[in-house]
Amino acid sequence: MSVTRYSIVSFWVQKPGEIISFQHKIPAYLKRCTGFKFSLVGSIDASLLNCEIGRISASFNSLKEEAITSALRYEETVTKDFQELDVHLHPGQIVSGVYVDNALQEEFTPYKVQLYLRCTDKEGQTQNQKGSCTTT
């Protein structure tokens, strides 16, 4: 039976156009990340609804694998499914990344961003498994 854990990377955006670097250590027993999503915590001006708020880029395994590049959009629905990710982790690795705020307004309200990583302690399928079909 595999164990699924969620790592959360969170940071505050304090000013418009801010560039935030982050690093987050993933526990050594986790072998593979299978999904990610990121969300906005706090309130943003309603005029930004369905607009891109910022962009994120994240790398795994000593910056050898840039696996996440995504835009954060301010949307009315806050619940999103995890996006697929398939990153095999080296033990004790750090996720490194950058978030860039796209705000171009003079009136700015600080907000919090959270990146959720879904990881498991199983390696995943490494063998090709082919289905068989019979015809009559």
Strand, coil or helix: what is 48? helix
Write down the pLDDT at residue 110.
87
What average pLDDT does the structure give for the chain?
81
Overall pTM > 0.85: no
What's residue 129's pLDDT?
38
Q: Is the confidence at residue 31, as pLDDT, over 60?
A: yes
**Is the separation of the CB atoms in 60 and 47 below 8 Å?**
no
Average pLDDT of the residues in 48-70: 84
What pLDDT does 79 receive? 57
Rounded average pLDDT over 15-43 = 89
Please tell me what DSSP assigns to residue 127: S
Task: Give the integer Cα–Cα distance in Å for 89 and 73.
Answer: 28
